[in-house]
Amino acid sequence: MSIYYDNSNRVFHLRSNNSSYIIQIVKGEVPAHLYWGPKLGAIQFQPSLDLVERCSFNPSFLLEDKAYSLDTLPNEFPSYGNGDFREPALEVHLQDGTTVTDFRYEGYTLSKGKPRLQGLPSTYVESDDEADTLEMVLRDAKSGLKATLVYTVFNHIDAITRSVRIENLGQGKIVLNRVLSANVDFHHSNFDMLQLSGTWTRERHVHKRPLVPGIHRIDSKRGSSSHQQNPFIALLAKDATENHGEVYGFSLVYSGSFLAQAEVDQYGMTRVGMGIQPFNFQWLLEPGDTFQAPEAVLVRSAEGLGGMSRTYHKLYQTRLCRGKFRDQQRPILINNWEATYFNFDADRIKEIAHAGKELGLELFVLDDGWFGKRDNDDSSLGDWVEDRRKLPEGLGKLGEDITAMGMQFGLWFEPEMVSPNSNLYRVHPDWCLHVPRHTRTLARNQLILDLSRQDVQDYIVDSLSSVLSSAPITYVKWDMNRNMTEIGSAQLPPERQRETGHRYILGLYEVMERIVSSFPHILFESCSGGGGRFDPGMLYYMPQTWTSDDTDAVERLKIQYGTSMVYPASSMGAHVSAIPNHQVQRNTPLETRGHVAMSGNFGYELDLTKLSESECEDIRQQVGQYKELRKLIQYGDFYRLLSPFEGNETAWMFVSEDRKEAFAAYFKVLAEPNAPLCRLRLTGLDPNKSYRLQHNGKEYRGDELMYFGLAIPQLEGDFRSILFVLQEI
């Protein structure tokens, strides 16, 4: 058991691989956060809360001890209205119109393993010996609300998960206005906060800022986790670097609007809160009803950002992703989108697929335009019926012809959308998100289907299942190309309209669960205009995500580097595209485009039939090399070496678990006149092993490679790169 309870001091000690997380039930029956830091050797912990009486502006909830003020207490689950003036984790509206709750400790249970969350994605265990779970029960006597704080400690991964379950055991209706999944009160504010921010085609750039008094917030109000902010933040000790120092990570397993924030109070304490976005959220709890909040994954690392990232990678790769493809090497694909856009027919598609087969590719993906009357983006979403003008013999025959070439066949869908110009919308105009008497705002000429409705969920499942059963499909790209406006549902009563956004996400999860369970042989890749919904919630259903619609190699350095802060390489779709690049019009060498794309799930997105023979030969070599390195790249340990946010160079590497092989990639964006000579110091190797460099046969010791490094040759021109492949001798 990795969770211990000391009854004499009323202390819970949660111990993961290298960390301890300690909670004490203090006077007044409130769970206080005592410690989260390096693992403590003694199971018993002598509590020492440094609380003193401050002033009359810090009200005390105990008349006999004025030092115990909720305004200064490090509270595990703060609620609104009873003396804590910081941001709460819970805020409700009671039937009598008041908003004050006072949660007190009632009891706990300990169990082996990890319970699943009802209707929500979450990390999991395959054996009860992998984790232990604490469920701490709090109750508000006046309202009858019961809050169950759920903590799971993984025994072999340095991670703790948190969630909360709210039950209405009272007699009246209660409205939840705010339910955060996790709250952690640190005893100081000597941190920098790191976040992953951007926009469409510029997702998950790394930003870091020092904490100062006040609230430091990232969020999404868009109905999805968004291109603009990722549901992740980290607090870094002032001396923390990529490889050294203490880092605390917070990641939310949720795909809708979210909030993540760090609040520094008047006494220099830091409160971190994370959960569903409270803005425009409400949830009506009838007597007997329960609300389950999403899961937050907390990671502490003493090995800097890199150690934090590798913990998230291991956990999300092995205990969040599921199904056959979790541990299976992913195929190298060719996608026709940037080659043809909407302008194709069956012969043109087979021509590209045949060219891909000749170059060693393994999967052809037919993108947007194969259904309805989809000649551009202003029609047919929702009408998932093959277009016989383009595919006269049908989708099934096209798939059979491509598989007969020795290629797998994949397909693009955008199941959550509907075009006003579609048969579906003409029959069911009320099936989209909308508010009566308000204009239905279009984005990319489309509306969003109301997935809070069971009939809409059933339609999506039935229509997609029909297509997926009609052809030999082994891959699906699941796209979602707009954010939510007019967030309302024709089926919900007025008092539940502000539940629509969260009910949509629950409906989406239900749809995806039904689809992926029915077609376990299909590799699903999620997408939202690229990385607009790159979050842990989606990875639970689909083990990889299209990282960004920006395929430019230089832009991808920052995008993939930032994404790697939380997400493993096996989750990142990365393609070589044509030049000039369609997003930024940059010309980069094919070699560099290949090296960047090889650092994720590799593929191509260009017209293979228009390449020169020398380009074809280069691609054959890239494909052959990736096949040799694929297992290492997709499932090895990832190390960041040089940051694109700090200079003109970027470097990263992958190391096998047994440290017998490694692959490092170095990129230089702009050429420099009379540039200094550089060495690239590797990491993650065994200092006592000897390694051979593949391209020249030279031999090095691991300690030499890590402490002295490899000489970087002079690279001529802009946007250049070089790979280093190492094997143990």
Lookup: tokens for 619 = 């691609």
Beta-carbon contacts of residue 16 (< 8 Å; ≥ 6 apart): 2, 39, 153, 154, 155, 157, 158, 159, 160, 300
User: Which one from 549, 550, 552, 637 is the annotated catalytic residue?
Assistant: 549
Q: Which of 65, 72, 60, 147 is nearest to 104 (CA)?
A: 147
Query: What b/e readout covers 221-256, taking b as 16+ CB neighbours within 10 angstroms?
Result: bbbbbbbbbbbbbbbbbeebebebbbbbbbbbbbbb
Q: How far apart are CA 116 and CA 21, in angstroms?
A: 22
Name beta bridge partners: 62.
none
Asked if 661 and 726 count as a contact pair (C-beta separation under 8 A), the reply is yes
Handedness of CA 479, 481, 485, 489 (dihedral sign): negative
Beta-carbon contacts of residue 319 (< 8 Å; ≥ 6 apart): 123, 124, 125, 126, 130, 154, 157
Query: What b/e readout covers 110-121, taking b as 16+ CB neighbours within 10 angstroms?
Result: eebebeebeebb
Q: How far apart are CA 671 and CA 619, in angstroms?
A: 25
Local structure of 41: helix, strand or coil: coil
Q: Which of 64, 63, 70 is nearest to 89 (CA)?
A: 70
User: Which one from 71, 158, 479, 552 is the annotated catalytic residue?
Assistant: 479
DSSP 328-357: SPPPPEEE-HHHHTT---HHHHHHHHHHHH
Q: How far apart are CA 705 and CA 409, in angstroms?
A: 42
Lookup: tokens for 400 = 């059979």
Is-catalytic flag, 84?
A: no
Element housing 678 (H / E): strand 678-680
Is-catalytic flag, 479?
A: yes
CA dihedral 69, 74, 76, 81 (to 10 degrees): 40
Q: How far apart are CA 356 and CA 608, in angstroms?
A: 7
Handedness of CA 326, 123, 255, 496 (dihedral sign): positive
Question: From the CB of residue 679, how many other CB atoms can be counted at a distance below 10 Å?
Answer: 9
Could you list the active site residues?
Answer: 479, 549
